[in-house]
């Protein structure tokens, strides 16, 4: 195990997430897992998105806060927190309106919209060094990061 600088790698992950137009969100309830693409914004080391209270993802989150997200080589474990109506958070509104003007105009002021805050607990990403695979693990709770070789994958003949 090789220790990494938590601050550097966590900021890199958040920056990479911010550059993506969408990410995959997985939620579950009663042993049923579903996933979908969501538009998101990053604010103060958390991910935010809005959805309709009548949606399956909202109902799953309401009963089970444990969620997962992924984009490219980043896998995220997180907790979802229901904040309230999107118009109650001016920081979110400003970021979301700039990033998704059409969705903002169509949905943000609807009565059944709700704002969800995603608190990242752990992130994992694959990286290659000299053609060998490694897994970078970032623990957002304990604020540590480390790299481990992926021993079950060998690129050597």
Q: Is the pLDDT of residue 18 over 70?
A: yes
Select from 2.30.110.10, 2.70.98.10, 3.40.640.10, 3.30.450.20 the CATH code of 7-125: 2.30.110.10
Nearest by Cα to 46 from 142, 115, 98 = 115
DSSP letter for 85, please: -
Tally Cβ neighbours within 10 Å of residue 104.
18
What is the rounded distance in angstroms from the CA atom of residue 18 to the CA atom of residue 16? 5
**Helix H or strand E encompassing 143:** none
Q: Is the pLDDT of residue 151 over 90?
A: no
pLDDT in tens, 131-149: 899 999 999 999 999 999 9
Nearest by Cα to 4 from 119, 135, 154 = 135
Decide if 82 contacts 62 (C-beta within 8 A): yes
**Helical H runs in the chain?**
6-19, 56-63, 90-99, 101-107
Entry field: residues in the chain: 157
In the structure, what pLDDT confidence band is assigned to residue 152 with cuts at 50, 70 and 90?
confident
- Mean of the pLDDT values across residues 100-114? 97
pLDDT in tens, 50-83: 999 999 999 999 999 999 999 999 999 999 999 9
- Mean of the pLDDT values across residues 6-17? 96
Quote the mean pLDDT of the chain: 95
What is the rounded distance in angstroms from the CA atom of residue 11 to the CA atom of residue 5? 10
């Amino acid at each position: 195990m090789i220790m990494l600088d938590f601050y550097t790698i966590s900021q890199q992950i958040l920056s990479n997430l911010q550059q993506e137009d969408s990410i995959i969100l997985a939620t579950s309830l009663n042993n049923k897992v579903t996933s979908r693409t969501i538009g998101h914004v990053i604010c103060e080391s958390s991910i935010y998105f809005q959805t309709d209270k009548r949606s399956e993802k909202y109902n799953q989150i309401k009963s089970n806060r444990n969620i997962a997200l992924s984009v490219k080589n980043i896998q995220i474990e997180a907790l979802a927190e229901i904040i309230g109506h999107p118009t109650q958070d001016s920081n979110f509104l400003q970021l979301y309106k700039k990033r998704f003007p059409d969705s903002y105009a169509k949905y943000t002021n609807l009565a059944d919209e709700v704002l969800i805050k995603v608190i990242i607990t752990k992130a994992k990403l694959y990286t290659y060094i000299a053609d060998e695979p490694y897994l970078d693990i970032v623990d957002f709770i304990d604020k540590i990061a480390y790299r481990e070789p992926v021993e079950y994958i060998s690129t050597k003949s």
